[in-house]
Structure 1
Amino acid sequence: MSPHKTKQPEKKESARVVRRRNEQAAIEAMETKLKNPESFGDSKYFNDLPLSDKTKDGLKKAGFTQLTEIQRKALPLALAKRDVLGAAKTGSGKTLAFLIPVLDILYRSHWNASDGLGALIISPTRELAVQIFEVLKRIGRTHTFSAGLIIGGKELHVEQERIAQMNILVATPGRLLQHMDQTVGFNCDNLQVLVLDEADRIMDMGFQRTINAVVENLPKQRQTLLFSATQTRSVKDLARLSLKDPEYVAVHEQAEHSTPQKLTQHYVVCELQDKLDILYSFIKTHLKSKVIVFLSSCKQTRFVYESFCKLQPGIPIIHLHGKQKQTKRVDIFRQFTHKQNAVLFCTDIAARGLDFPAVDWVVQLDCPEDAETYIHRAGRTARFDAEGHALLMLVPTEKEGMLEELKNKKVPIEEIKIRANKQQSIQTQLQSFCFQDPEIKYLGQRAFVAYMRSVYLQRKKNIFKVTELPADAFAHSLGLAGTPKIKFVKKAEKAVGPVKAAVKDISDKEDEEVEDEGTQKAKTKYDRMFQKRNQDILSEHYNKLVDYEGDKLGDGDDDDFMTIGRADHALESDSDDNMKDTKADNMSKRQAKMGKKELAKRSSKGEKLVFDEEGKPHQLYEMEDEADFLKAGDAKAQKDAFISETGELMKVADVDDKALAKQKRADKKYKRKMKEREARDMAAEEGSDSGEYSEDDDDDEMDQESLSSSDEDEQHGTQKRKWFQKASDDEDEGSSSKKRVLQVDQPETIQDQEALALKLLGGL
């Protein structure tokens, strides 16, 4: 009998299989729509674009719903896996224009952890990389990709342990190249998308070698996205990155202005030495604003920050520059982001891409290197259709060239004047700070040198003219007593005016020849020490600490003040002249041979000054005006009040003095008694040790003869000789008060006792 065959029921498909099938269908639908990306050029919302559901969900949770102009034009092209060059104004939303394609392209490729690195985003600064990574986390929370931030600031081995597992990397060029060279197992062979944010800055000379080395490690079959506010279109740069038929998207290229419409821009022409005064006055009148101040160097940023912290303008002050540690820079970035009213002193490290919310003013204290840098700096305010203000400070030598640059870049800017009655001077306070705090003085010297060097190194010499800057006045405005000497300024002077430099050299040689004809002064080691100059820091006035030339009689033009010139006729005695000349020569020779201490004794003494709270100098002891003196009453009333007040103080002091004297006497008496007690104890110990034991008795027994004699002495009331008394026969015989003792045998009978009594009577 054959077995009965039953029909098996069909298995239901699992939810995972269904989900994968639906995802694949959605991906194919998106691929079909993106074959014609130009059809999405009029989209207004993210939901109108062919994006994955996970990306749309992340954008909705992050609060992004409406497209900006750059996103509307660049996103469809980037989603279609085309190379894009995107240029748009600052604050126009370029970050989302490349982050959304990165997420969706990897999603459509079913990218997972085993596939390795799929997208690489390179940023020129660490702060901008941190900001990009924060936005990536917000919109990519629903995706399953692993993302990492490689910017340095941490130990290399900590990043090496995880970098090989990342699908998306946000990195700075230097740190990325370091991992490519040193991290085992890290490769970019499967890279799908390369993004360069602020591409014009990355492609310039500062990152040229690094970017070339990075690109060599990347596969040529990839998609490349370049975004910046001022985009590069150099054929050489595009060839380096292996771009294939790139789409150039410049949404504001035909715009009337290259800066945001709601950005109000002004410039001020002022002298170099007045910049800090104007800045302080500006801050004092904008205490309820959020301000960013750009300077040209890290040393300037730190000096201005430390000085303004001491001035206490009444608003929180923060500083950000490249010399700070990475963790501190990130903390400062986040701290300023959450501040409502604050002033941030920074370098160009914060000029590109950083999104500080609600910035009211951008003040460019130092002139930017070009118009592009100005646009990036000013773009920190008036972001996303918000209002903002920008102020540029120019010295007279920079005005013409910089305004021409801005005009060519279609930057609308107007001049404003500073009200003299509203301007406050802080030069006296800075001088006080430098006088009291050596660190502030050192920072001021470094800031001076750094600013002069930054001007000297600029490429556009029609704007930056270091030889025409008022160096002495600028150093004085920083609170410095003298102007630090720097070599490159002399080189610039020679390059600008060789004829002028030649004339100066000839005059210097003539002065040296005239000096050689006069009296030669002996050179000592102290002379050579004070003639040495540190070309970077020390000031010229340090060389004048010891003025040997001033010791000569009749030398130099300075001696003409309040001196009597000799007439042209001969004096009565020529011998007197010879003696005076000889005496002067001898004095100069002696001074040359003097030591450092002797010169210090003979030199004029310095004058000690004190500074009040406003930074004004005063003498240590100053006489009071009569009017101020009489405010407290006439002289007799003040005298009586002083005597009365002092008398009360003296009474209190007298009571305290008497109590103190009494205590001292009691202590002295106690110490004297203690010394006497110690002396008695010591004498008793010495007396008990002397004469009690016989030196010749080996059995340590008592000497009977000495014992009997001591008993006899006790009976007659005599005392034993102390350790400090002399045992001389002359003293025993010469003492009239000492009684004689007869040596007799012990009496046994009455007759013997009577005989002993007669002897004693006869001895008396």
Structure 2
Amino acid sequence: MVASGITGHTRPTKVKKRAALQKRKRDDVDVEKLEQAVEQLDPNNGSYRHFTDLPLSDPTKQGLRSAHFAVMTDIQARALPLALKGHDILGAAKTGSGKTLAFVVPVLENLYRLQHVGVDAGLGALIISPTRELAIQIFDVLCKIGKHGHVFAAGLVIGGKSLEAERQALTRMNILVGTPGRILQHLSQTVAFNVDDLKMLVLDEADRILDMGFQRDVDAIVDYLPKERQTLLFSATQSRKLSDLARLSLQDPEYISVHAEDKSATPQTLQQNYIICPLEEKLDTLWSFIQASKKSKIICFFSSAKAVRFVYESFRHMQPGIPLLHIHGRQKQGQRFDTTAKFSAAKYSCLFATDVAARGLDFPAVDFVIQIDCPEDADTYIHRVGRTARYNRQGRGVLFLTPGEEEGMLKRLEAKNVPIERINVRQRKRQSVKDQLVHMLFKDPALKYLAQKAFITCVRSLSLQKDKDIFHLTEYDLEAYAASMGLPGTPRVKFLEEGNAKQKKQTSRDELAVSGSSGESEDGKDGPATKKGKLVRTKYDRMFERQNQDVLADHYKNLVRDDDAEEAPESEYNAYDDDDFLAVKRRIPARPDLSDIASEDDATATRMRKVVNLEGAAQPLIIDSNRREKLLKSKKKLLKLKDRGKKLVYDDDGNPHEVYELEDENDFRAKGLPEDQRQKFLQEAREVVQNADVEDKATAKAKKKEKIRKKKERETMEKEDDDNDSRVGLEDNEEDGLANFRADAEVSDVEADEMKRSKKWFQSDSEDEDESKKGKKGKKGKKGKKTGARQIVEEPETLEDMEALAAGLLG
């Protein structure tokens, strides 16, 4: 535990700043006047009805006035005077009776009078709530009342947020609101978190905090807190057990139960009903109810988070015409906070929730609370139904009970003074959603998997319920429930199979013990017996009863027979068990009598023969051996025994026919001899082929002609275009054409000369020399003027000279 005096400051506070802070406290607050007024309070006097009747500070009065709180409720009128005087309180009141304000106001006032303000003062009040949503709601009320003049530093510590940010802020907190797990984590891990100066401890929904789920956390938290403090406990159902009081170190607590004398444990403005609804009809009934109450604000409670998710996702796809929301413990904190805010602000909405929203949450103007899954006890029912009919408003609660849960649950509610009346569902307004669920699960594998998990968690919650007078798992029709969720088959529930296997194993051991005691001899040599007559099996008996320890196991001993032993009669061979490795089922004598064999075969066939009609098989399956009987356990092998499917085609009239149909034998013979029919069929087929060939040849010939015609047209058009171009060129520019031709000729000569001079990449130097020599030899035998590899051509003067020159170049 953190030593006293350690704070979160990295350096000491300046002396002048500390003096100014103390001066501000003395000047602004008249603590002595408030202390005197509180001392004059008389808690036994029941004349306090308004908040102005109590000695409260100006900031608190202004906060109550701004929040429109004027008249106190019964629990507030009884608890506030005692809490202001510093008494420990055990408060019990109905849901929606204003218990939150009954401890928020004393926290602010007592710390205000003690001037427990500032960083150096440390933590003064700790408020613990079982759920995050309730902690957030308490923190909102605290801020709403205390923001008009109070200078306390208040903080909210819950899971799902940054742990490091909370650690840095904890050292400055005067009032802290949080959940048990998170507070214990900071007490054990945050070094600078000091609670030695704690003045007040508040537990909201104390019965839930003190149960087995939070008992260890609360015990560990109390060990960190100082013994001298004021403790306030509030809940809708309160306990006065001495063990709870000793755990919390309460000192002469005042027990306040304002509704103990009432005939009902629930508000008078709450109308409570229940309907008898089998497990497989709950989803249909819920959907029909939502369709009939679209302009209402509804909360539907389920037993598991997977069920909440499945119903939300499936109903959301079917679009009921009302906004749907869901909340459960598996969601992140931000998502849960957004859901509660949306539902509080909505005018019409339907919220699917687990018991995480069953306690303390204040949703305004809730019309219906529907409990789809039966609550585990009457206290849970009271907290669930308490989300409606708050602050003297009207509300209605409906409980769904199966026929097996009715008797036990009504007894529990009657013991808690809960009036409830049975109503019936109008069948004509009831709608079935089974077909829609089947269609959705077929299209969406993720939704199908979610439905399977929801089924398993619902079955698990039913099996884990402690009150077996209400919940009988064997009485629920689980197959019908799975079908109502749209599942094609009942999912495998592993823990139920393990329980059945364990029960079978235990039963077989008991039977073995009974059978062993029955075989005990009169002199008692087989082993000692108990008074009940059962044989006592020692560890040596179990050791010798082990099987397959050596080669002389039972199935091996059946194959071996001692020579000294007499030959076993025929009946012994039939007495072997079916589980033997090798066993003789029937023995045939060397010289049998025919009548004996016939009678023996009939008896064996009668004993072992079994006929099983398989679905989809024309012939029944005859079971005449153990191997044939094992076929029933293999789906793959049974498929081979079933008839194969037939492929059908439809004629013009819509009548189905098989692809290959066999003609009736009599009709076939009436048409003539088989060879004649064969020749006739060949002749018809030959004619069909010949006709098809004629058509194909005609089509091919027409295509060929069309292709030739198009080709001729294209050539004619190209020839006409060329003639037109050449005629226009000769008429217009005859002399220019000659000049161009001369220039082209000169250019071609130059290019040829350059090509001859240029060295090819694949020629060597020796090849160049050889070519130069050949060129020199060739020059001597030719006429005309030549210079190296270049030939000088005389310029043509007439058209005939140009044609001769062109022919020479081309030749």
| TM-score (norm: length of structure 2) | 0.64
Matched, 1:185 2:192: yes
Q: Is the 8 A contact 1:494 1:501 kept in 2?
A: no
The one-letter code of the counterpart of 1:458 is: Q
Q: Is the 8 A contact 2:34 2:56 kept in 1?
A: no
- 2:432 aligned counterpart, secondary structure: coil
Match of 1:644 in 2: none
Task: Write out per-residue CA displacement over residues 345-384 of structure 1, whole angstroms, 9 at most, x where no aligned residue.
Answer: 0000000000000100000000001000000000000000
The one-letter code of the counterpart of 1:267 is: Y
Match of 2:136 in 1: 130
Residues 101, 697 of structure 1: alpha-carbon distance in 2 compared, 3 angstrom cutoff: same
C-alpha distance in 2 between matches for 1:280 and 1:191: 51
Q: Is the 8 A contact 1:693 1:701 kept in 2?
A: no
Q: What is the CA distance between 1:466 and its match in structure 2?
A: 1.1
Q: Is the 8 A contact 1:291 1:344 kept in 2?
A: yes
Matched, 1:402 2:470: no
C-alpha distance in 2 between matches for 1:177 and 1:698: 102
C-alpha distance in 2 between matches for 1:499 and 1:355: 51
- 2:409 aligned counterpart, secondary structure: helix
- 1:397 aligned counterpart, secondary structure: coil
Q: What is the CA distance between 1:139 and its match in structure 2?
A: 0.1
Alignment of 1:286-435 (within 5 A): 286-435=293-442
C-alpha distance in 1 between matches for 2:781 and 2:640: 78
C-alpha distance in 1 between matches for 2:222 and 2:311: 40
Task: Write out per-residue CA displacement over residues 708-743 of structure 1, whole angstroms, 9 at most, x where no aligned residue.
Answer: 699999999xxxxxxxxxxxxxxxxxxxxxxxxxxx
Q: What is the CA distance between 1:54 and its match in structure 2?
A: 1.3
The one-letter code of the counterpart of 2:167 is: Q
Match of 2:156 in 1: 149
1:481 to 463, 482, 488: 488
The one-letter code of the counterpart of 2:71 is: Q
Match of 2:97 in 1: 92
Alignment of 1:263-302 (within 5 A): 263-302=270-309
Q: What is the CA distance between 1:698 and its match in structure 2?
A: 7.0
Match of 2:63 in 1: 58
Q: What is the CA distance between 1:502 and its match in structure 2?
A: 9.8
C-alpha distance in 1 between matches for 2:781 and 2:314: 95
Q: Is the 8 A contact 1:37 1:77 kept in 2?
A: yes
Structure 1 segments unaligned to the other structure (5+ residues): 1-14, 506-512, 521-553, 567-576, 609-620, 627-661, 670-683, 717-764
Match of 2:111 in 1: 106
Match of 2:765 in 1: 697
Match of 2:264 in 1: 257
Name the count of aligned residue pairs.
577
Residues 699, 149 of structure 1: alpha-carbon distance in 2 compared, 3 angstrom cutoff: same
- 1:224 aligned counterpart, secondary structure: strand
Q: Is the 8 A contact 1:289 1:360 kept in 2?
A: yes
Q: Is the 8 A contact 1:294 1:348 kept in 2?
A: yes
C-alpha distance in 2 between matches for 1:92 and 1:393: 26
Match of 2:121 in 1: 115
C-alpha distance in 2 between matches for 1:385 and 1:178: 39
Q: Is the 8 A contact 1:199 1:227 kept in 2?
A: yes
Match of 2:181 in 1: 174
Match of 2:672 in 1: none
Match of 2:612 in 1: 557
Residues 693, 182 of structure 1: alpha-carbon distance in 2 compared, 3 angstrom cutoff: closer
C-alpha distance in 1 between matches for 2:399 and 2:313: 23
Match of 2:145 in 1: 139
Match of 1:673 in 2: none
The one-letter code of the counterpart of 2:466 is: R
Match of 2:244 in 1: 237
Q: What is the CA distance between 1:51 and its match in structure 2?
A: 1.0
C-alpha distance in 2 between matches for 1:485 and 1:474: 13
Q: What is the CA distance between 1:38 and its match in structure 2?
A: 2.5
Q: Is the 8 A contact 2:34 2:55 kept in 1?
A: no
Match of 2:223 in 1: 216
Residues 279, 119 of structure 1: alpha-carbon distance in 2 compared, 3 angstrom cutoff: same
- 1:309 aligned counterpart, secondary structure: helix
| TM-score (norm: length of structure 1) | 0.68
Residues 249, 701 of structure 1: alpha-carbon distance in 2 compared, 3 angstrom cutoff: farther
Residues 303, 690 of structure 1: alpha-carbon distance in 2 compared, 3 angstrom cutoff: farther
Alignment of 1:74-93 (within 5 A): 74-93=79-98
Q: What is the CA distance between 1:501 and its match in structure 2?
A: 9.5
Q: What is the CA distance between 1:18 and its match in structure 2?
A: 11
C-alpha distance in 2 between matches for 1:313 and 1:624: 45
Q: Is the 8 A contact 1:348 1:377 kept in 2?
A: yes
Residues 693, 54 of structure 1: alpha-carbon distance in 2 compared, 3 angstrom cutoff: closer
C-alpha distance in 2 between matches for 1:600 and 1:500: 36
Q: What is the CA distance between 1:37 and its match in structure 2?
A: 2.8
Residues 499, 393 of structure 1: alpha-carbon distance in 2 compared, 3 angstrom cutoff: farther
C-alpha distance in 2 between matches for 1:408 and 1:624: 74
Q: Is the 8 A contact 2:130 2:209 kept in 1?
A: yes
Q: Which stretch of structure 1 is more off in the superposition, 49-58 or 358-367?
A: 49-58
C-alpha distance in 2 between matches for 1:75 and 1:340: 34
Residues 445, 707 of structure 1: alpha-carbon distance in 2 compared, 3 angstrom cutoff: farther
- 1:380 aligned counterpart, secondary structure: coil
Q: Is the 8 A contact 1:149 1:169 kept in 2?
A: yes
Q: Which stretch of structure 1 is more off in the superposition, 463-472 or 290-299?
A: 463-472
Task: Write out per-residue CA displacement over residues 297-344 of structure 1, whole angstroms, 9 at most, x where no aligned residue.
Answer: 011111111111111111111100000001111111111110111110
Q: What is the CA distance between 1:256 and its match in structure 2?
A: 1.1
State percent identity of aligned pairs.
50
Match of 2:78 in 1: 73
Q: What is the CA distance between 1:43 and its match in structure 2?
A: 1.4
2:36 to 24, 29, 34: 29
Task: Write out per-residue CA displacement over residues 213-263 of structure 1, whole angstroms, 9 at most, x where no aligned residue.
Answer: 000000010000000000111110111000011001000010011101111
Q: What is the CA distance between 1:156 and its match in structure 2?
A: 1.0
Matched, 1:163 2:170: yes
Match of 1:544 in 2: none
C-alpha distance in 1 between matches for 2:336 and 2:781: 100
